[in-house]
């Protein structure tokens, strides 16, 4: 089984109450790839500039991620994002965004990337996402992430793009904004009417909720005492989720719940250190150990005798 | 087993996007009593005025709640609260508060009320709560709720009062405010250092989390499509929680998780209609049915083969 992700590859500068990094590997497609790599073969598609070198490729190759479809733009600069977090670690305060080569990104997927079982469209302009989706007509599962900017400025295109995927990942506020429904149950149903069979509401420190036509599942976030850097948590979640699903033959309710748990597990490791530092040296045994902790954490005894 | 609750008995005027009521039975001790009454004998302690009559007593007696310690203040007016909810049902916008007889409330518990197994100190001025706690030295479990006002204006007294109880119920923001810790794991540990062995973080639409010395459990809120009136949800939660615990011989981790689930179940029914309307005609079978839905909703399969 294999998975292709299309999205941003970036350098991030991040400051949090626990320290700072001036220039580290980041970007949605990177966080997603590393998380998914524990479960399936991953191909990452995105543009980089001249400043992207062996160290950065090394992190991806270290986790076996296929980088053949990374597009190196000569003379260009890699997407750069600078932000800080304060007492409330749920909100990133952006200080600087330099799109660089990402501004002109027109994804052209190789045959190998087009023929993956699973496709993830990380947060990019929805026309671009739809173009990628159309290049991969045969994928078994297509997932998509987006953001408030596109809901605001390109809603029609986004709705059309959502119509072509199976799984939508958005945070609570974005789901409400997209659908105009304050109630999440109603909001997720409105999304299903657009096309997707499954909606995942990302809820930050509260975990995540899963909505399907006839099911509901919610999982708390892993209770960490210290969150060092929340950047990439949502993409690590989606990577664990879809990476696991790519490795299974069906997306049953039971498997979707396991996918939620692997997603939450990867997100929880991601935020323990800056950028990709924790996930890039993570071991599969640590993942399964934390999965089992989630099982114990959420176990509910039946009705009392 | 029996349970005593001390707190406000009120008339509420509430408007939400789903309708309004000009004067209905409310108050923390009322919502708590009705919820707890499904599990154990309940005695309610609080003051009322001349406007509190047979209809209101009828609702409490209808659920078998003992009202012998309700103090009728001649010539007085019952506590009145007026508020509305907007698109975001998580925030009550208070329009009017008339303390009435509640302003001079000095709880004097009968011997019967003092000898209950479980005591719940609903949200009142912390000196008053401590006075009640001291009248009941022999209770097996004492629980307490409070609010931002007392954290702000009577923190020292509140901390002292918290030192005398086993279980603290607060919402996330209040836990952070009380302890100065942004991280909930750290905040709950700081509360345990004040005295309580168990901390319940109420999280509104996200459910609730349970912290003990060596355990963590979290339960999502029941996914309702329509929340008509959130007033009293927290007290219904505490009522279901402590009512269930009062009916059991021990407060093991397994029983605490069941208590969380009964609390969440009662809260979910409470918000389906205005005030006490839904819970006052609730049947025990409906409660156990929803408990089983929580079980299915949170069930997580083990590691894949």
Nearest to B226 among A87, A183, A218 (CB): A183
A206 near B CB under 8 A: yes
B218 near A CB under 8 A: yes
A184 near B CB under 8 A: yes
A173 near B CB under 8 A: no
Distance CA(B241)–CA(B167), nearest Å, equals 11
- Give the residue from A94, A86, A81, A96 showing the smallest Cα distance to A30: A81
Residue A42, both tokens: 């991953």
Q: Which of B17, B244, B298, B302 to probe by mutation at the A interface, max A CB count within 10 Å?
A: B298
ipTM: 0.93
Query: Is residue A275, in this structure, part of any structural domain at all?
Result: yes
Query: Is residue B225, in this structure, part of any structural domain at all?
Result: yes
Residues of A within 8 A of B201 (CB-CB) are none
B291 near A CB under 8 A: yes
Residue A305: its pLDDT value, please? 80
Distance CA(B214)–CA(B210), nearest Å, equals 11
Query: Is residue B303, in this structure, part of any structural domain at all?
Result: no
Count the neighbouring beta carbons within 10 Å of the beta carbon of residue A225.
10
Domains in chain A: how many in total? 1
Residue A293: its pLDDT value, please? 96
Residue B221, both tokens: 């809120």
Number of H helices, E strands in chain B: 11, 13
- Summarised one tens digit per residue, pLDDT across range B257-271 is 999 999 999 999 999
Contact flag B300-A205 (C-beta cutoff 8 Å): no
- Summarised one tens digit per residue, pLDDT across range B34-92 is 999 999 999 999 999 999 999 999 999 999 999 999 999 999 999 999 999 987 788 89
- Summarised one tens digit per residue, pLDDT across range B80-96 is 999 999 877 888 999 99
User: The domain spanning residue A193 has which CATH number?
Assistant: 3.40.1190.20
Residue B91: its pLDDT value, please? 86
Query: Is residue B71, in this structure, part of any structural domain at all?
Result: yes
Query: Is residue A132, in this structure, part of any structural domain at all?
Result: yes
* Host H or E run for residue B148: helix B148-153
Residues of chain A with confidence (pLDDT) below 70: none
Residues of B within 8 A of A304 (CB-CB) are 248, 255, 258
Q: Which of B85, B206, B286, B291 to probe by mutation at the A interface, max A CB count within 10 Å?
A: B206
SS3 readout for chain A:
CEEEEECCCEEEEEEECCEEEEEEEECHHHHHHHHHCCCCEEEEEEEECCCCCHHHHHHHHHCCCECCCEEECCCCCCEEEEEEECCCCCCEEEEEEECHHHHHCCCCCCHHHHCCCEEEECCCCHHHHHHHHHHCCCCCEEEEECCHHHHHHCHHHHHHHHCCCCEEEEEHHHHHHHHCCCCHHHHHHHHHHHCCCEEEEECHHHCEEEEECCEEEEECCCCCCCCCCCCCHHHHHHHHHHHHHHCCCCCCHHHHHHHHHHHHHHHHHHCCCCCCCCHHHCCHHHHHHHHHHHHHHHCCCCCCC
Contact flag B291-A303 (C-beta cutoff 8 Å): yes
Query: Is residue A137, in this structure, part of any structural domain at all?
Result: yes
Distance CA(B5)–CA(B31), nearest Å, equals 10
Distance CA(B126)–CA(B107), nearest Å, equals 13
User: How far off is chain A from B188, nearest CA to CA, in Å?
Assistant: 11
Q: Compute the C-alpha angle B128/B133/B136, nearest 5°.
A: 135
B96 near A CB under 8 A: no
Nearest to B224 among A185, A301, A304 (CB): A185
| Chain A with chain B: Cβ pairs closer than 8 A | 97
B87 near A CB under 8 A: yes
Count the neighbouring beta carbons within 10 Å of the beta carbon of residue B152.
10
Name the residue in chain A with its Cα closest to that of B228: A183
The parent domain of residue B197 ranges over: 2-297
Query: Is residue A302, in this structure, part of any structural domain at all?
Result: no
Residue B205: its pLDDT value, please? 92
User: How far off is chain A from B302, nearest CA to CA, in Å?
Assistant: 7
B68 near A CB under 8 A: no
Residues of A within 8 A of B288 (CB-CB) are 303
Residue A1: its pLDDT value, please? 82
Contact flag A223-B209 (C-beta cutoff 8 Å): yes
Query: Is residue B304, in this structure, part of any structural domain at all?
Result: no
Residues of chain B with confidence (pLDDT) below 50: none
Contact flag A300-B261 (C-beta cutoff 8 Å): yes
Nearest to A209 among B216, B220, B294 (CB): B220
- Give the residue from B210, B222, B119, B134 showing the smallest Cα distance to B170: B210
Contact flag A184-B206 (C-beta cutoff 8 Å): no
The Cα-based distances of A33 to A36, A60, B41 in angstroms read 5, 8, 56
What one-character DSSP code corresponds to residue B200? E
Distance CA(B267)–CA(B279), nearest Å, equals 9
């Amino acid at each position: 089984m294999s998975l292709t992700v299309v999205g941003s590859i970036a350098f991030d500068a991040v400051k949090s109450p626990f320290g700072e990094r001036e220039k580290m590997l980041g970007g949605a497609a990177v966080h997603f790839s590393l998380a998914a790599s524990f479960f399936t073969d991953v191909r990452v598609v995105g543009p980089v500039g001249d400043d992207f070198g062996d160290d950065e490729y090394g992190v991806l190759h270290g986790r076996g991620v296929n980088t053949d479809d990374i597009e190196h733009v000569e003379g260009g600069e890699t997407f750069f994002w600078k932000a800080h977090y304060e007492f409330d670690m749920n909100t990133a305060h952006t200080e600087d965004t330099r799109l660089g080569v990402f501004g002109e990104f027109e994804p052209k997927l190789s045959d190998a990337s087009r023929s993956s079982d699973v496709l993830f469209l990380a947060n990019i302009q929805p026309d671009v996402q739809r173009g990628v989706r159309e290049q991969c007509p045969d994928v078994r599962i297509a997932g998509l992430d987006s953001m408030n900017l596109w809901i605001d400025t390109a809603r029609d295109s986004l709705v059309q793009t959502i119509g072509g995927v199976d799984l939508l990942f958005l945070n609570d506020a974005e789901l409400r904004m997209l659908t105009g429904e304050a109630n999440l149950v109603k909001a997720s149903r409105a999304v299903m009417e657009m096309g997707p069979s499954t909606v995942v509401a990302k809820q930050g420190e509260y975990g995540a909720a899963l909505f399907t036509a006839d099911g509901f599942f919610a999982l708390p976030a892993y209770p960490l005492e210290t969150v060092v850097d929340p950047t990439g948590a949502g993409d690590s979640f989606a990577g664990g989720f879809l990476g696991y699903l790519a490795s299974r033959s069906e997306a049953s309710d039971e498997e979707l719940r396991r996918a939620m748990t692997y997603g939450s597990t990867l997100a929880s490791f991601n935020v323990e250190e800056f950028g990709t530092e924790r996930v890039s040296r993570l071991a599969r045994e640590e993942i399964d150990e934390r999965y089992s902790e989630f099982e114990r954490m959420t176990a509910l005894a039946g009705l009392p005798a």
